[in-house]
Amino acid sequence: MLIDSQWVEASDGGWNDVRNPGTGEVIDRVPLATLEDAERAVEAAQRGKLAMGKCPAHERSAILVRIANAMEANKEALSNLLAQENGKPIRQTREEIAASIRIFQGFAEEAKRILGRTVPMDAVPGQERHLAITIRQPLGVVAAIVPFNYPVELYAHKAAPALASGNAVITKPPSNCPLTLLRLAELMEEAGLPRAAHQVITGPGALIGDFLARSPGIQLVTVTGSTPVGIRISELAAQHLKRVHLELGGNDATIICADADLEKAAEAVILGRLARGNGQICCAVKRILVESTVYDQFADLLTDKAKALKLGDQMEEDTDVGPLTSEAAAEQVEALIKDAVKAGATLRVGGGRNGTFVEPTVLTNVPLQAELFCEETFGPVAPLVAFETIDEAIGIANDSPYGLQAAVFTKDISRAFDMAYRLEAGGVIINWSSALRVESLPFGGIKMTGHGREGLHDTIDEMTEQKVIFIHDALSYFDPG
């Protein structure tokens, strides 16, 4: 792991094996960090934040450009390593690395566009002689807690803006797939980051994450993870009133109206749920609401497309769905499918499990109270429910503690906008999958999904502080006479 720009082992010599989730084969091992290691990382980051704070915008931009170029030069190796340790099919890990490169490139530009403003003091009677401006300054140290499902892309969404805006970063990678982030950390060090600007700690999530959340040396904790983890981090961070950015659970609804392009809608569900990230995506299509007059037709279309998907080795070019992150995760998805069928759902295709592999599954007639439907399910499962009216569909979609993204399929633009306004979500996608994230868009949720937004412009605001500089009696222009 990386502490104070040096590669170190755990202070007690502990190690953790990293395995291919499909085969169980040990790929490598990483240090199992202790609290002592985490303390050293936070201490080093205090020096790193001073160096980053004095690093001018053009230098920060140039560093991020070099990081992006290094990733581009190593993109196939990074994609292969990510597929091995994560389980996503190799075609999809290539897409993730490509997106991560774009994110670093984008924030290289944003580093040069961190703007203040002039406040017109003459708008207030008696204040005409004064001059005021605002500037934005880095917070200091940003702790990034990164999940397993899209570790490189989500790391880029956290580390790139933190560095672009002059912060130091401490990263806690996912325990089961940290290797690609460690390799990326090597490339970042070689790109010329100031000493101690960037730490990467591999260790138990609860131990290291809790420490970072409660440490007074951290000014912002940014977390992508489960809602219980986000609540825990928030409670600990409140001890020092530090900022917390949370992108947590989601149970994203897709509403398919009778006038929709059903072929396109079925393709979007396949690519937004069953054949992307093995179904383990926060904004994936998780609840599918179909107008009753086209329900059977859509169910047949989706079932046929699901049957054509290939489940298998994530390293093979034609694989659509790979292994889940662990056997325990696969067992949980299998149990949820069985419970839904027991409650009355109809299994149209899939439902089986072999080790960490879960077959792409389509369920119809799913009861609204089935846990698979009303709680977030992380796996390749598509549950369908029929609705009669738009009001009913909106009510079902909003009947959730979460509010990340939603999707609407219709050819009526007025209806689309009306539904988008009414849906309780951070983003609504019209005529495509809710599993859409473009780096230039603000991404985040409401309700128990969390707060804050990640995106090329928005994250910079989250990771900087606004300061007012006021100059008394600076002007005589407005003096009478």
Closest CA to 155 of 199, 193, 112, 111: 199
Distance, in Å, from the CA atom of 364 to the CA atom of 351, rounded to the nearest integer, reads: 12
Distance, in Å, from the CA atom of 139 to the CA atom of 114, rounded to the nearest integer, reads: 13
Quote the tokens at residue 433.
């999958």
Q: Would you call 247 a catalytic residue per the annotation?
A: yes
Q: Given the residues 55, 177, 257, 282, select the one marked as catalytic.
A: 282
Query: Which residues, other chains included, contact 330 with Cβ-Cβ below 8 Å and sequence gap of 6+?
Result: 323, 324, 353, 355, 356, 357, 358, 379
Give the count of beta carbons closer than 10 Å to the beta carbon of residue 457: 16
Q: Would you call 282 a catalytic residue per the annotation?
A: yes
Q: Given the residues 189, 247, 334, 424, select the one marked as catalytic.
A: 247
> In a 10 Å sphere around its CB, with 0-12 CB exposed, 13-18 middle and 19+ buried, how is residue 187 labelled?
middle
Query: Which residues, other chains included, contact 465 with Cβ-Cβ below 8 Å and sequence gap of 6+?
Result: 136, 137, 138, 139
Integer angstrom CA distances of residue 241 from 100, 130, 221, 246: 31, 33, 11, 15
Integer angstrom CA distances of residue 270 from 2, 39, 199, 443, 478: 39, 45, 38, 22, 65
Integer angstrom CA distances of residue 180 from 37, 104, 194, 273, 320: 21, 16, 21, 24, 21
Closest CA to 208 of 5, 31, 448: 31
> Pairing state of beta strands 2-3 and 450-451?
unpaired
Active-site annotation, residues: 247, 282
